[in-house]
Amino acid sequence: MSKTYNLTTPLTEEQTRELRAGDIVYLSGVIYTARDAAHKRLVDLIEAGEELPFDLEGSVIYFVGPTPPKPGDPIGSAGPTTSYRMDSYSPTMLKHGSKGMIGKGKRNQDVKDACKEYGGIYFGATGGAGALLGKQIKSAEIIAYPELGPEAVRKLEVENFPVTVINDTYGADLYQMGREQYEVK
């Protein structure tokens, strides 16, 4: 049976090992945005042994490229982008301390294995709900790669940001479980 949790970042391995695929989590605290181009740069820095623009330990990375904010707003619409494009980078991020990712869509086996090994969680947010999700973001600040525009790395402060555990630290996958339950053969 699915449980509901309220968690504040940074996440600890003790917290992530509690979670199971299908659980609903309301996240609060700081999360960081990165898409394809930013991931490439972050992983290049890790491999070169250089300092990152933020502390990876316990961090949650949100795969998002928001719309420009309207005057007076911290951010525009900000729903998840499709995650598989980050599959080649995510295991390195998890190995170096990151504990969570927020996106939408399937991950490959390497990412699922890295979640098991390093205690990471892949959370799904509702794709196409950018207006609703953007409202849970209380502040946004570009902390690296402003030249990437929507793909720049942003530090976001979120409150009760609604996500669902897709891949847990035990190898379970909500997409597979859900589909098997409703598939008519």
Partner 1 sequence: MRVIEFNDVVKAVRDIIVHCGTDLPQDAYDALKQAMEEEKSPVSKEVLKQILENADIAKDEKRPLCQDTGLAVFFVKVGDEVKVNGGLLKDAINKGTEQGYTDAYLRASTCEPFSRANLKDKVGYNLPAIIHFDIVAGDKIDIEYAAKGGGSENVSRATVFPPAAGKDGIVEYVKEVISNAGPNPCPPITVGVGIGGTFEKAAISSKHALFRTLGTHNEDPEMDELEQRILKEINNLGIGAMGMGGTKTALAVHIEANPCHIASLPVSVNVQCHSSRHTHITI
CB 75, min distance to partner 1, A: 9
* Residue 22 binding partner 1, by CB under 8 A: yes
User: Nearest-CA neighbor of 168 among 2, 29, 30, 55?
Assistant: 2
State the catalytic residue, choosing from 9, 16, 39, 42. Answer: 39
Residues 115-174 that bind partner 1 (CB under 8 A): 124, 126-135, 149-150, 162, 164, 174
91-to-15, 21, 48, 143, 175 alpha-carbon distances in Å? 19, 19, 16, 23, 20
Binding to partner 1 (CB under 8 A): which residues in 41-100?
A: 64-70, 76-79, 81-82, 84
Of 92 and 126, the one with the shorter C-beta distance to partner 1 is 126
DSSP state of 11: P
Q: Does 28 bind partner 1 (CB under 8 A)?
A: no
Known catalytic membership, residue 96: no
Structure tokens at 21: 């695929």
3-state secondary structure of 13: helix
User: Cα separation of 11 and 88, whole Å?
Assistant: 22
Report the alpha-carbon distance of residue 30 to residue 157 in Å, rounded.
Answer: 5
Dihedral sign from CA coordinates of 157, 163, 169, 171: negative
Instruction: Quote the least distance from Cβ 79 to partner 1, whole Å.
Output: 5
Binding site for partner 1 (CB under 8 A): 2, 22, 36-37, 64-70, 76-79, 81-82, 84, 104-106, 124, 126-135, 149-150, 162, 164, 174-175, 177-185
Active site residues: 39
